[in-house]
């Protein structure tokens, strides 16, 4: 497995939860980080927890759902570090409501954040990665794409679409030394999971560090090795 030291890594949705854990995990590998979110105070707190010199970390507030926002994120990384080796599409939203109760605005927000933002990242990154000789894009999906519980139909559909889009684009660009990978975690102790469940030491929940570890594992594969999908679940299944 290769070293990630000094690799330029971008993490969206980095201000909390899985994104913050991913940022800290790559900081531990000696990477140079660009952290994106919508709350600069929270981003700066995560950046401080990474314990990297100022020359090795950057924070940027942007809306990943907007073309201008995604361009701002990618431009920031290229301007500071000269390239993007690994881009992690982690930003995501989800709502637990029955299909007849979910408002159209929440449907749009779910697909715009979970799917459109990744589409926009492909548009920004792929031409630049081709020019620099390759790169890696890791998309955080969900096991809900394959096994969906009641009340998360829209969220599950957005993640299923993400999986298929990632698969197709991966086959478009693998000849350009660009690897597109998907990590699909099961229930994880974040704000998207009910607070009573997440507050327990519940072995039926993954930790954010579990997910971050899987992302780093993918990134550390040798250049000719491609892990296209990781289906990550807790050892103990939920009842």
pLDDT higher than 70, residue 195: no
- 51-65 core/surface letters (b: 16 or more CB in 10 A; e: else): ebeeebbbbbbbbbb
The Cα–Cα gap between 85 and 77 comes to 10
Closest CA to 162 of 211, 71, 210, 94: 94
Token pair 């981003």 is at which residue?
43
Answer whether 48's CB lies under 8 Å from 25's CB.
no
pLDDT higher than 60, residue 70: yes
The residue with greater pLDDT, 193 or 103, is 103
Model pLDDT for residues 160-175, shown as the tens digit of each residue: 999 999 999 999 999 9
pLDDT higher than 60, residue 192: no
Per-residue model confidence (pLDDT) at position 148? 81
pLDDT higher than 50, residue 64: yes
**Which H/E stretch holds residue 230?**
strand 229-232
The tokens for 148 are 């969906």
Percent of the chain residues topping a pLDDT of 90: 83
DSSP-assigned letters across all residues of 137-179: EEEE--GGGTSPPTT-HHHHHHHHHHHHHHHHHHHHHGGGTEE
Mean pLDDT of 217-225: 94
Q: How confident is the model at residue 239 (pLDDT cuts 50, 70, 90)?
A: low
The Cα–Cα gap between 239 and 226 comes to 34
CATH topology of domain 8-232: Rossmann fold (3.40.50)
Rounded to whole angstroms, what are the CA distances from 184 to 147, 210, 235? 11, 12, 15
pLDDT higher than 80, residue 135: yes
**Which H/E stretch holds residue 75?**
helix 67-81
Task: Say if residue 228 is exposed, middle or buried (CB neighbours under 10 Å; 0-12, 13-18, 19+).
Answer: middle
Answer whether 59's CB lies under 8 Å from 44's CB.
yes
Q: How confident is the model at residue 238 (pLDDT cuts 50, 70, 90)?
A: low
Catalytic site positions:
155
Percent of the chain residues topping a pLDDT of 70: 94
pLDDT higher than 50, residue 199: no
């Amino acid at each position: 497995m290769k070293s990630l030291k000094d690799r330029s890594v971008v993490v969206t949705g980095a201000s909390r939860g899985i994104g913050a854990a991913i940022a800290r995990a790559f900081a531990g590998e000696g990477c140079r980080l660009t952290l994106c979110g919508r709350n600069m105070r929270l981003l700066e707190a995560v950046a401080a927890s990474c314990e990297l010199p100022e020359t090795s970390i950057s924070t940027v507030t942007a809306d990943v759902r907007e073309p201008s926002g995604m361009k701002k994120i990618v431009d920031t990384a290229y301007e500071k570090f000269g390239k993007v080796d690994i881009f992690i599409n982690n930003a995501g939203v989800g709502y637990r409501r029955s299909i007849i109760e979910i408002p159209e605005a929440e449907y749009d927000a779910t697909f715009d954040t979970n799917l459109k933002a990744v589409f926009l990242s492909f548009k920004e990154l792929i031409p630049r990665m081709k020019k620099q000789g390759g790169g890696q894009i890791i998309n955080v999906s969900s096991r809900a794409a394959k096994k969906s519980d009641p009340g998360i139909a829209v969220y599950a559909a957005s993640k299923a679409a993400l999986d298929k889009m990632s698969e197709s684009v991966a086959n478009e660009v693998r000849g350009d030394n660009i690897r597109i990978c998907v990590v699909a975690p099961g229930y994880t102790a974040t704000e998207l999971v009910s607070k009573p469940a997440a507050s327990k030491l519940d072995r039926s929940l993954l930790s954010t560090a579990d997910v971050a570890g899987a992302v780093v594992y993918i990134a550390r594969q040798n250049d000719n090795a491609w892990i296209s999908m990781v289906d990550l679940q807790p050892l103990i299944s939920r009842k």
